[in-house]
Structure 1
Amino acid sequence: MSKKLTKRSEDYSKWYNELVVQADLAENSGVRGCMVIKPYGYAIWEKMQAALDKRFKETGHENAYFPIFIPKSYLSKEASHVEGFAKECAVVTHYRLKNAEDGSGIIVDPDAKLEEELIVRPTSETIIWDTYRRWIQSYRDLPILINQWANVVRWEMRTRLFLRTAEFLWQEGHTAHATEAEAISEAKQMMEVYAEFAEEFMAMPVIKGTKTESERFAGALDTYCIEALMQDGKALQAGTSHFLGQNFAKAFDVKFATKEGTQEYVWATSWGVSTRLMGALVMTHSDDLGLVLPPKLAPIQVVIVPIYKGLEQLDLISERVQPLVKDLRAKGISVKFDDRDTYKPGFKFAEYELKGVPVRLAIGQRDMDNQTFEVARRDTLEKETVAAALVLDKIEFLLEDIQQNIYKKAFDFRENHITEVNSYEEFKKVLEAKGGFIAAHWDGSKETEEKVKNETKATIRCIPIDAVLEEGACMVTGKPSNKRVLFAKAY
């Protein structure tokens, strides 16, 4: 069995890194800054994909795929976009290798230099809007509602599994509209889709809001976001949706003939979530014993561990358990009967605790005689003996109850870690002693925002959508402010 995890209270970062590896979610690869997502981790990502993809299609979007390589000249067409990504780009300059003449190994063939360098996709706005120019001529061609599931590369220097890696998986939606109102409505709609997914499937409460100008996506006029709070009091940006205005349409000359016969530039959005959500899932719910997974995203929702002496007894338990396994699968519940004879029950209990399996059943000879199962829930670690005739209903109840319970626990934690302050001194004290979200008045200037960031490492996570209008004074400058924004240290 894996070694005992570091306690969260001792070293939260170390706890996270150990848990991701020991729970078989991912590991570092031979390529610096890149990760290997292991089958158990990928199974969770697949469940996330399926739930999101269903919602994308229900809102009228279609999946497509665009090239991973982007000509350098494309990136330079939208000034703020290239400035935002320039320092993170991986660049392809040659297309061929050859053996060195001195026999020292393989070298890049200097004669195989590309006429124009290619950027490995950091995001796809530029290649997609070059494509949309060919797809859009008339108002009849609009809207275009496209999503792609892909990998991207952003050359991060400080990496951490799932939270920040040089290559990561994500989805990116890119839509084109005839009017500004349609595009804004689309960007807001996708923020709502992300929030619904985070809360209903991840059991992770989020705050919906807009980013400040300094924190917006490069090339966006507005960025809508969902922000979550991790157990260490740091915020995590869980998803973003961008209103791009006509910036990319103008950069790539994408016009359409209106119903009135005039030529207009198209309005655009883009939106995305990534495997960063895996990190959010781990940090929102897990404990010192391992993962705590929401049942809706758990690869194994129920595990059954037999306790036996000899293969004959195992065969009898297996025979007794099979009808339950069949009934669970018929209801769409994923179940594993762990009949491995190479590990003892205690090892298996610890393994499934570490992996966050929501419900664990144990059955031994006494249970066989009494027509019962021992049923344990991962979130509270409570155990009880349940009659075999009632166990199916009990499991269904527990899966729903665990989903609700871990959401409530995370919600209560979040609510207890939103603190209103009125002075900069109070802000600093709360940030240091308590962390979490700090609601404070801000004068709206980049200078004040930058000052707070430089002095405290806290940033404005969002201007909440439901922020109440409230006359006040900026905590730093004393200048007038009409609403509170949320500050936090963040991942």
Structure 2
Amino acid sequence: MLSVDRLINYFEQFSQVLHVLELYRKIYEEFLAVPVSKGMKTEMEKFAGGLYTTSVEAFIPNTGRGIQGATSHCLGQNFAKMFDITYENEKGSKEMVWQNSWAYTTRSVSLTFLYYKWNHVGVMVMTHGDDKGLVLPPRVAPVQVIVIPVPYKDADTTAIKGACESTVYTLNQSGIRADLDIRENYSPGWKYSHWEMKGVPLRIEIGPKDLANKQVRMVRRDNGAKIDVPVINLVEEVRSILDGIQENLFNTAREKRDACIEVIKTWDEFLAALNNKKLILAPWCDEEEVEKDVKARTKGELGAAKTLCTPFDQPELTEGTLCFASGKPAKKWSFWGRSY
């Protein structure tokens, strides 16, 4: 039986692990606009040597594969025992330390850090990208707004350029990351494609007509919508549109992800869903040998299926529900599928 002190340490660690996991969720959902599921890894999939591993899991509908977004590990006292890491408690006696582990902000520039960093970027690119190129959520886009002059024949190019420069200055002074493309050796159309490929969330075009009407034309990267906005309302409208783009990217990604979730209860249903590139939610007996067997039975050119995580948000498990793979009484619902 665990002592009171050991129980307190255990629950303090669990609280800390979940706190970091929630920070991960916020980064993915509120900044990268990528929906994720929070859950627990199985004994097979957890960090080697750790007590348990929690994770946020993303899913790429276009490829039908899950991807581990980020992990937060409870190491318990396992590594303390291996390396003899102790501390002196309030009673003056030595005890083994309790440890947790994560990587988002505590790692310096190393190969491991770069792996985690580009893993996050890769998930975002695969989630939002389209045939034109990148689609960047405004909150993480290095350039949120690109301003492009559109001079027609006999237009006052000096005035148009001045209006563009004024627009960029006003936006930058308001905390919006804006840039100006005044390269003369490229046409406006070429510039549109160039910045669309780079994923800039919002494009502002200023031509003779806009100059005369004291307005700018805004074009959204996420859906291509165009809107003419009076210069006097520039900052407010840009902020509103950027917020709308951020929200739309997340909602669209979540709808696509949710449409791929398939709840199954039998092996045949599992195989059909796997072949249809679904994110599978299945009742499971929580036995490691069964998990290994599923991996072995689905091994092929596309890779084997495996557990992605056991979500904390568990659907009701009615009495008599059987494991999809073994036929034994199910103990939990878990996400399964192919993964990166």
TM-score by length of 1: 0.62
Distance 1:306 1:238, change over 3 A: same
Q: Please tell me whether residue 208 in structure 1 is matched to residue 38 in structure 2.
A: yes
Question: Residue 350 of structure 1: CA displacement?
Answer: 0.2
Counterpart code for 1:452: V
Counterpart code for 1:230: I
Q: Please tell me whether residue 321 in structure 1 is matched to residue 161 in structure 2.
A: no
* Residues 73, 102 of structure 2: 8 Å contact kept: yes
Q: Please tell me whether residue 466 in structure 1 is matched to residue 296 in structure 2.
A: no
Q: 1:298 aligns with which of 132, 141, 150?
A: 141
Q: Please tell me whether residue 344 in structure 1 is matched to residue 187 in structure 2.
A: yes
Question: Residue 482 of structure 1: CA displacement?
Answer: 2.6
Q: Which runs of 5+ in 2 are unaligned?
A: 1-7, 105-115, 299-303
List aligned pairs for 1:189-338, cutoff 5 A.
189-232=19-62, 233-273=64-104, 274=116, 275-308=118-151, 313-338=156-181
Counterpart code for 1:213: E
Q: 1:436 aligns with which of 247, 253, 278?
A: 278
* Deviates most, 307-316 or 228-237: 307-316
List aligned pairs for 1:341-490, cutoff 5 A.
341-433=184-276, 435-456=277-298, 457-470=304-317, 471=319, 472-490=321-339
Q: Which runs of 5+ in 1 are unaligned?
A: 1-177
SS at match of 1:272: coil
What is the number of equivalent residue pairs in this alignment? Answer: 313
In structure 1, how many angstroms separate the alpha carbons of the residues matched to 2:316 and 2:34?
27
List aligned pairs for 1:52-91, cutoff 5 A.
none
Question: Residue 285 of structure 1: CA displacement?
Answer: 0.8
* Residues 148, 164 of structure 2: 8 Å contact kept: no
User: Runs of at least 4 residues of structure 1 off by over 6 A?
Assistant: none
Question: Residue 469 of structure 1: CA displacement?
Answer: 4.6
SS at match of 1:179: helix
Q: Deviations over 1:380-433 (max 9, x none)?
A: 011122222223222111100000001000111111111110100011001112
Counterpart code for 2:253: A
Match of 2:109 in 1: none
Between Structure 1 and Structure 2, which shows a larger proportion of strand residues?
A: 1
Counterpart code for 1:459: K
In structure 1, how many angstroms separate the alpha carbons of the residues matched to 2:309 and 2:173?
44
Q: Please tell me whether residue 182 in structure 1 is matched to residue 33 in structure 2.
A: no
Counterpart code for 1:426: E
Q: Cα RMSD over matched residues?
A: 1.7
Q: Deviations over 1:424-458 (max 9, x none)?
A: 0011001112x231111111112211121222211
In structure 1, how many angstroms separate the alpha carbons of the residues matched to 2:10 and 2:333?
28
Counterpart code for 2:206: I
Percentage of pairs with the same residue: 37
* Residues 160, 206 of structure 2: 8 Å contact kept: yes
In structure 2, how many angstroms separate the alpha carbons of the residues matched to 1:216 and 1:391?
50
Question: Residue 309 of structure 1: CA displacement?
Answer: 5.2
TM-score by length of 2: 0.88
Q: RCO (CA 8 Å, sep 6+): is it higher in 1 or 2?
A: 2
* Residues 414, 436 of structure 1: 8 Å contact kept: no
List aligned pairs for 1:95-244, cutoff 5 A.
179-232=9-62, 233-244=64-75
SS at match of 2:326: coil
In structure 2, how many angstroms separate the alpha carbons of the residues matched to 1:432 and 1:247?
40
In structure 1, how many angstroms separate the alpha carbons of the residues matched to 2:272 and 2:266?
10
Counterpart code for 1:422: K
In structure 2, how many angstroms separate the alpha carbons of the residues matched to 1:248 and 1:282?
36
Question: Residue 179 of structure 1: CA displacement?
Answer: 2.5
In structure 2, how many angstroms separate the alpha carbons of the residues matched to 1:266 and 1:207?
30
